[in-house]
Amino acid sequence: MRASRFPLFTSKETPADAEIASHRLMLRAGMIGRLGAGLYTWQPLGLRVLQRVERIVREEMDGIGGMELLMPAVQPAELWQESGRWDLYGPELLRITDRHGREFCFGPTHEEVITDLLRRELRSYRQLPLTYYQIQTKFRDEIRPRFGVMRAREFLMKDAYSFHLDEASLEATYQDMRGAYSRIFQRLGLDFRPVKADSGAIGGSVSEEFHVLAESGEDEIAACERCDYTANTELAASRPPLPEPQAPRPAEEKPTPGIETVAEQAEMLGITAAQVVKSVVVMADDEPVVLFVAGDDELNEVKAAHALGAETVRLAEPEEAFDATGVPRGFIGPVGLPQGLRTLVDHRAAAATNFSSGANRADWHWVNLNWGRDTPAPQTAELRTVRAGEGCPRCEGTLHITRGIEVGHIFQLGTKYSESMGATVLDEHGRDAFLHMGCYGIGVSRVVAAAIEQNHDEHGIIWPDPMAPFQLAIVSINAHKSPRVAETAERLYRALQAAGVECLWDDREARPGVKFADMELIGIPRRIVIGERGLDEGTIEYRHRRAAESENLPLEGAVEALTQRCAETG
Ligand code: ATP
Ligand code: MG
C-alpha cells in the first residue's frame, strides 16, 4: 500500500475526552472515528487490525469444529419474552418498534435466536454435539460508554453456542473452547489469564473470563502467588475466618453523637475498624435487606445477589433505608431491628466477638456485642470482597490483586434456555430431552483496544506482529528530489509485496520527521529508511519498533533479509 493513496488521518492532538492510551492512540492514529456516544467507524487502518483478529478467531473456532453462521442483529421481542429476559435485561437492551407496532430489540447477545433455530432444525440426538459461531455487531445501551471501542454501545463480538445431549458432552466442548481461547490470545501476542467469573445476565453456573492484564482494566482479579487460583474479585472466595478466642464481655451502649463513618466510630470508641460490624441496607430486587460486614471489609453486591437469590442488588437510597429500619444512617445495627426485615451476616463479620455496631437509635452505638447472645441467631453467607494480601481460599498462599480487561467469557448454561424455550431433542429411547447448552463470547473489537493498552510507548502503538495492519513501513527520504531513492524504494516495495510482506510505503512528499512520527504512531513493527546517504554506501536503514537503535542492511539481499525477519515473528 502506498501512503499517498491510503487515508492516513493521523493527528498530533490528544483528544480531550480520551482517558486511556488505547482510546487516545486509536483516535490519533486514525484507526477509528467517533460518530456518537459509544458509536465508532472503523477506518481502513483500524479495520485491517480488526480483520486480523477476526482471522485468528475464525481459524481457532474452525479448528475445534465450530460452524460459522450469521444471525439477524434485530430480534423479535417474543423470543426474549419466552426466555424471560425481555423484562430482566433492563435498559441495556435497545428496544425497537416496527411500523406495525411489533416490538424488537437490537441483539446484545444471541442465546434466544440460536435456541429458536435449534428447536426448529434439530432432528435427532445423533446430530449432536453442535457448535455454531458468528462474528457480528452487537448493541448494548451501556450506562457509561467510554474508553472508545473498549466499552462501546455498538461493538463486534464473536459469539459461539454449543448444544449437547448431556452434561458430559457440554463439559468436553467447554474444555475445547477454553483451549481455543487460550490459543487465540496467545497467537495474538497478549498477556492474558483465564479467571473464574460470575455468570451475570447470561446465566448458568460454570463460567470463566479471559482477561488481558492492564492497569487501565475495569476489572479486579485476585490471583494466588502460589497455586493457580485466579478469580474476578466479584466472585473470589474468602478463606473461612478463624474464630476469635476472646471471652465475651458485657455489652454496653455508648453515646456517639454525629458520627458518620466506620473510621469515626472506631476512633470515638477507641477500637479498630475490624472490631466494628457495619450495617448496609440494600435493595435486593425490590426488597430491603440489612447486610452486616466487618468494618474494614467492602460489601460485594454480586455475592450478595447470589446469597439472596436476587437478580440485582444495589445500595438503598437514604430514604429507602430509613423506611425499612426507622433508624438514621450510621446508627443501624443488629439489635432490635423491625420484625420481618430480612438480614444476612458475612462469615467474617459473624466470626467477630465483642464487636461494635449501631444501636438503632440516633447517636448511640453498642460495644461488646456478641452474635446470638445479644442479637437473633445470625444467618450467614459470603458477602465481602477479598483484599490484596489475604490468604488464598485454596492453599496456604497469599492473594494479590491485578487489573484486567475482559476480552472473553465462556459459560456452561446447562438447560436454562432450552427449558424456558422448550428446545428438546429425541434421545436414544425416543424421549424428549432438553438440550444442554454452552455459550462463548469474545469482544473482537475490544481485543484491539486491549492489545494497545499492553503494547504502546510515548510515540504510539507497537503492534504485536499478528495484529499489525502492515508488517513493514518503507520510508523513502526526499524521493521527489532523488530519482535514485524513488527507483530503489519502488523496486524494494514491489519485490517485498511479491514476497508476501505487507508493506506501507510512505511515498508522501513530507518531511522525514513527519513520516517517522506517523509510522511510529500507527505502530508498524518494522521500518526501513531509504535515503541518498545510505545508497552511497549501498545500504538501507532497518529498525524494529521496539529496538533502541537502527542498523544498516546491505541493499544487496535486502529483500530476502527483510522477508525472513518479517516471517520470523509473524
Ligand atoms: P462487561 O463486564 O465488560 O460489561 P459482559 O460480561 O457484559 O462484559 P459478555 O456478555 O460476557 O460481556 O460479552 C462477551 C464479550 O463481549 C466480553 O467478554 C467483552 O469482551 C465484550 N463486550 C461486552 N460488552 C462490551 C462493550 N460494551 N464494548 C465492547 N466489548 C464488549
Ligand atoms: Mg456488560
In this structure, which residue's CA is closest to atom 31 in ligand 1? 443
151 alpha carbon, closest ligand: 1
In this structure, which residue's CA is closest to atom 19 in ligand 1? 443
Give the distance (Å) from ligand 1 centre to CA of residue 157.
8
Give the distance (Å) from ligand 2 centre to CA of residue 147.
14
Q: Check residue 262 and report its DSSP letter.
A: H
Residue 184 in 3-state DSSP? helix
Residue 221 in 3-state DSSP? strand
Long-range contacts of 152-157 (CB under 8 A, 24+ apart): 152/38, 152/39, 152/40, 152/445, 153/37, 153/38, 153/39, 154/38, 154/39, 154/40, 155/443, 155/445, 155/446, 156/50, 156/54, 156/443, 156/444, 156/445, 157/109, 157/441, 157/442, 157/443, 157/444, 157/445
The per-residue pLDDT for 412 is 95
Q: Is the dihedral of CA 261, 263, 269, 275 positive or negative?
A: positive
In this structure, which residue's CA is closest to atom 6 in ligand 1? 200
The verdict on pTM exceeding 0.85 is yes
Q: Judge contact between 395 and 225, C-beta under 8 A.
A: no
Give the distance (Å) from ligand 2 centre to CA of residue 300.
17
Hey, which residues does 154 pair with through a beta bridge? 139
> What is the rounded distance in angstroms from the CA atom of residue 283 to the CA atom of residue 329?
15
Ligand 1 is surrounded, with C-beta below 6 A, by 109, 140, 142, 151-152, 155, 157, 200, 202, 406-409, 441, 443, 445-446
In this structure, which residue's CA is closest to atom 21 in ligand 1? 443
Give the distance (Å) from ligand 2 centre to CA of residue 56.
24
The atom of ligand 1 lying closest to the CA of 197 is 6
Q: Give me the percent of the chain exceeding a pLDDT of 90.
A: 93
Q: Judge contact between 23 and 147, C-beta under 8 A.
A: yes
Give the distance (Å) from ligand 2 centre to CA of residue 307.
21
The atom of ligand 1 lying closest to the CA of 108 is 10
Residue 173 in 3-state DSSP? helix
Q: Judge contact between 131 and 65, C-beta under 8 A.
A: yes
The atom of ligand 1 lying closest to the CA of 209 is 18
The per-residue pLDDT for 570 is 47
Q: Check residue 270 and report its DSSP letter.
A: T
pLDDT one-digit tens code per residue, 245-298:
789 999 999 999 999 899 999 999 999 999 999 999 999 999 999 999 999 999
Residues in CB range of 2: below 8 A, 6 or more apart: 493, 505, 507
The atom of ligand 1 lying closest to the CA of 210 is 18
Per the omega criterion (within 30 degrees of 0), is the bond before 15 cis?
no
Task: Name the nearest CA neighbour of 152 among 22, 304, 60.
Answer: 22
The per-residue pLDDT for 198 is 76
Give the distance (Å) from ligand 2 centre to CA of residue 193.
19
In this structure, which residue's CA is closest to atom 26 in ligand 1? 151
pLDDT one-digit tens code per residue, 35-48:
999 999 999 999 99
Q: Please report, in tens digits, the pLDDT of each residue of the chain (570 residues total).
A: 999 999 999 999 888 889 999 999 999 999 999 999 999 999 999 999 999 999 999 999 999 999 999 999 999 999 999 999 999 898 999 999 999 999 999 999 999 999 999 999 999 999 999 999 999 999 999 999 999 999 999 999 999 999 999 999 999 999 999 999 999 999 999 999 999 887 665 556 789 999 999 999 999 999 999 998 999 999 999 999 887 778 999 999 999 999 989 999 999 999 999 999 999 999 999 999 999 999 999 999 999 999 999 988 999 999 999 999 999 989 999 999 999 999 999 999 999 999 999 999 999 999 999 999 999 999 999 999 999 999 999 999 999 999 999 999 999 999 999 999 999 999 999 999 999 999 999 999 999 999 999 999 999 999 999 999 999 999 999 999 999 999 999 999 999 999 999 999 999 999 999 999 999 999 999 999 999 999 999 999 999 999 999 999 999 999 999 999 998 864
Grid cell 480488526 is found at 50
> What is the rounded distance in angstroms from the CA atom of residue 320 to the CA atom of residue 340?
16
Q: Check residue 386 and report its DSSP letter.
A: P
